[in-house]
């Protein structure tokens, strides 16, 4: 699997157009897997993909973690739908529909694929599993993490979310992962109020140890930090990268590419 990060930031850039992104800023989080699976469709992801020469016309599936504005913009979804070769499969939690505010004619332009909290779906040449995330959305919507399995490789994507919910952790303990992308919203502030919904460096140290100790990953597994909020990080990118490297993690940045 080839991963291309089209954004690695938290909510600070929700309403910031691509042309206003300057040095030191991060776009809202979005990840392209190979050429055909896109996780989250925030405001800047399409323009940034074009800027760095990434063709999104082959995207067939969009996986939505949750409906917050830094992860979903309706305008981005339908702009993407207009340029893809096939009708988009749009995956989201079954209770996210009201929060998306889709009109009836808009629903007809995509294939709505509604997911429950713990559901495995065979998506042609990939298996997608939705797992509940420790995060909050409006109403009864359950934010989701995803496991994507393809060509003998398995990826866990967990942005937004702090720690792991018990059902998610128990599921993960039974599998082997080749790579994880973990929420890295907060820096060293151990007492930050976001502890219930986002990870900090102290939390990530525990999570990384648990992933290795419980055999979910081995030392050769790829662990990546994304969904970084510069406003609650004391360090710049280089400092964050050094801190995460000490945990055996890679710090993603907008445009970062890696193959697992």
Torsion sign across C-alpha atoms 150, 151, 154, 157: negative
232 contacts 194 by C-beta, under 8 angstroms: yes
119 burial level (CB within 10 Å; 0-12, 13-18, 19+): middle
Which string of b and e fits 146-181 if b means at least 16 CB within 10 Å? bbbbbeeebbbbbbbbbbbbeebbebbeeeebbbbb
Structure tokens at 15: 């309403």
Determine the Cα–Cα distance for residues 1 and 16; give it in Å rounded to an integer. Answer: 30
DSSP-assigned states of every residue in 203-253: HHHHHHHHHHHTTSS-TTSEEEEE-B-GGG-SS-HHHHHHHHHTTT-EEP-
Q: What is the pLDDT of residues 101-129, one digit of tens each?
A: 999 999 999 999 999 889 898 877 799 99
Q: What is the pLDDT of residues 4-45, one digit of tens each?
A: 999 999 988 899 999 999 888 899 999 999 999 999 999 999
Determine the Cα–Cα distance for residues 53 and 62; give it in Å rounded to an integer. Answer: 19
DSSP state of 16: -
Residue 108's pLDDT is: 92
Pairing of strands 61-63, 89-93: parallel
Domains of the chain, by residue range, sit at: 2-14+25-259
173 or 230: which leads in pLDDT: 173
Residue 44's pLDDT is: 96
Name every residue whose Cβ is closer than 8 Å to that of residue 45 and which is 6 or more positions away in sequence. 6, 7, 27, 28, 30, 38, 76
Q: Considering the chain, what is the average pLDDT of its residues?
A: 95
Q: What residues are paired with 9 via a beta bridge?
A: 28, 228
Q: Is the pLDDT of residue 236 over 90?
A: no
Determine the Cα–Cα distance for residues 235 and 246; give it in Å rounded to an integer. Answer: 14
Structure tokens at 196: 């219930």
CATH number of 2-14+25-259: 3.60.15.10
pTM above 0.85, yes or no: yes
Q: Please, which pLDDT band fits residue 152 given cuts at 50, 70 and 90? A: very high
Q: Please, which pLDDT band fits residue 231 given cuts at 50, 70 and 90? A: confident
Q: What residues are paired with 119 via a beta bridge?
A: 130
234 or 165: which leads in pLDDT: 165
Q: In angstroms, what CA-CA distances link 82 with 53, 61, 75, 154?
A: 18, 14, 11, 30
């Amino acid at each position: 699997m080839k991963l291309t990060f089209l954004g690695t930031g938290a909510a600070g850039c929700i309403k910031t157009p691509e042309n206003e992104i300057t040095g030191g800023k991060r776009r809202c989080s979005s990840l392209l897997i190979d050429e055909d699976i896109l996780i989250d469709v925030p405001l800047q992801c399409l323009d940034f993909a074009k800027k760095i020469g990434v063709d999104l016309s082959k995207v067939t599936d969009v996986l939505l973690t949750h409906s917050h504005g830094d992860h979903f913009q309706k305008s981005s979804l339908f702009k993407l739908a207009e340029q893809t070769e096939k009708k988009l499969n749009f995956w989201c939690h079954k209770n996210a529909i009201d929060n998306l505010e889709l009109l009836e004619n808009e629903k007809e332009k995509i294939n709505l694929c509604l997911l429950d909290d713990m559901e495995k779906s065979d998506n042609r040449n990939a298996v997608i599993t939705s797992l509940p995330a420790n995060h909050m959305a409006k109403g009864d919507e359950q934010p989701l993490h995803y496991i994507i399995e393809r060509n003998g490789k398995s990826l866990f994507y967990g942005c937004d979310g702090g720690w792991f919910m018990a059902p998610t952790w128990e599921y993960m303990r039974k599998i082997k992962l080749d790579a994880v992308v973990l929420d890295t919203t907060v820096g060293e502030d151990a007492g930050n109020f976001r502890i219930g919904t986002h990870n900090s460096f102290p939390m990530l140290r525990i999570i990384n140890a648990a992933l290795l100790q419980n055999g979910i990953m081995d030392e050769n597994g790829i662990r990546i930090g994304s969904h970084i909020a510069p406003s609650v990080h004391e360090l710049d990118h280089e400092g964050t990268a050094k801190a995460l490297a000490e945990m055996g993690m890679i710090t993603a940045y907008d445009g970062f590419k890696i193959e697992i």
